[in-house]
């Protein structure tokens, strides 16, 4: 599905088609995903959706700060070496 979306965006960019600002969504910076949660969120609504689902995950798991797992936040959200392991240990998939 994401390949089709990517192809549409590329064709639109080449043809000079622009989207209204209200419909524009910042895409996720990653192209490979290790978790279904973020992969699905990025496909659904780009970076804003991924951020929203992670905020919900953080609230549910009572994590105090995003920096527990991430070395950097926006725009790339780089993980600490054990960030993925922490996510999986808390039940994330």
Ramachandran region, residue 86 (left: φ > 0; alpha: ψ -120 to 50; beta: rest): alpha
Residue 25 has pLDDT above 70, yes or no: yes
The Cβ of residue 69 has, within 10 Å, a number of other Cβ atoms equal to 20
- The enclosing H or E element of 89 equals helix 83-89
pLDDT at 55 over 90: yes
Asked if residue 78 lies in contact with residue 70, where contact means CB atoms within 8 angstroms, the answer is yes
Q: Global pTM?
A: 0.70
> What is the spatial distance between Cα 13 and Cα 52, in angstroms, rounded to a whole number?
27
Rounded CA separation 18/64 (Å): 40
Res. 20: pLDDT tops 80:
no
């Amino acid at each position: 599905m994401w390949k089709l979306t990517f192809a549409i965006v590329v064709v639109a960019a080449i043809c000079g088609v622009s989207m209204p600002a209200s419909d524009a969504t910042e895409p996720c910076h990653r192209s490979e995903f290790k978790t279904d949660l973020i992969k699905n969120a990025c496909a659904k609504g780009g970076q804003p959706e991924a951020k929203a689902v992670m905020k919900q995950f953080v609230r549910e798991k009572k994590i105090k700060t995003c920096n527990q797992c991430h070395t950097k936040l926006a725009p790339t959200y780089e993980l600490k070496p054990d960030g993925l392991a922490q996510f999986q240990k808390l039940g994330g998939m």
